[in-house]
Amino acid sequence: MRGVSEPARVVDVRAHVCPMTWVRVKLGLEAIREGEILEVWMRGDEPLRNLPRSAAGEGHEVVLCEPSESDHRLLIRKGG
């Protein structure tokens, strides 16, 4: 894992449900350059399972997946 820099963009999907969570994350990824970090804040088990898997499946690097009692944090490095 390469060093983690400041996120280029932050996306908050805590008020959304699937599939809108992934739609919002994809839009966030489209707004940054390859190699930059997208920080995602989410809530619930479904996005915690689905968002890292979807990001990795599209060639992005899941740098950090930090679950907690309420709000989860995800860092995604945009792939090429």
Is residue 59 included in any domain, yes or no?
A: yes
Is residue 56 included in any domain, yes or no?
A: yes
pLDDT digits (tens, 9 = 90+) for 13-49: 999 988 899 999 999 999 999 999 999 999 999 999 9
Mean pLDDT to the nearest integer, 8-15: 97
Residue 1 pLDDT: 46
38 CB burial (10 A radius; 0-12, 13-18, 19+): buried
Separation between Cα atoms, residue 31 and residue 27, nearest integer Å: 6
CATH code of the domain covering residue 45: 3.30.110.40
Q: Which domain holds residue 15?
A: 9-77
Is residue 4 included in any domain, yes or no?
A: no
Is residue 70 included in any domain, yes or no?
A: yes
DSSP type of residue 3: P
Is residue 16 included in any domain, yes or no?
A: yes
Please identify which of the residues 18, 48, 62, 65 carries the catalytic annotation.
18
The number of C-alpha atoms within 13 Å of 66 and in the hemisphere containing its C-beta is 10
Is residue 24 included in any domain, yes or no?
A: yes
**Percent residues over pLDDT 70 in the chain:** 95
Query: Does 65 qualify as catalytic in the annotation?
Result: no
Is residue 2 included in any domain, yes or no?
A: no
User: Domain tally for the chain?
Assistant: 1
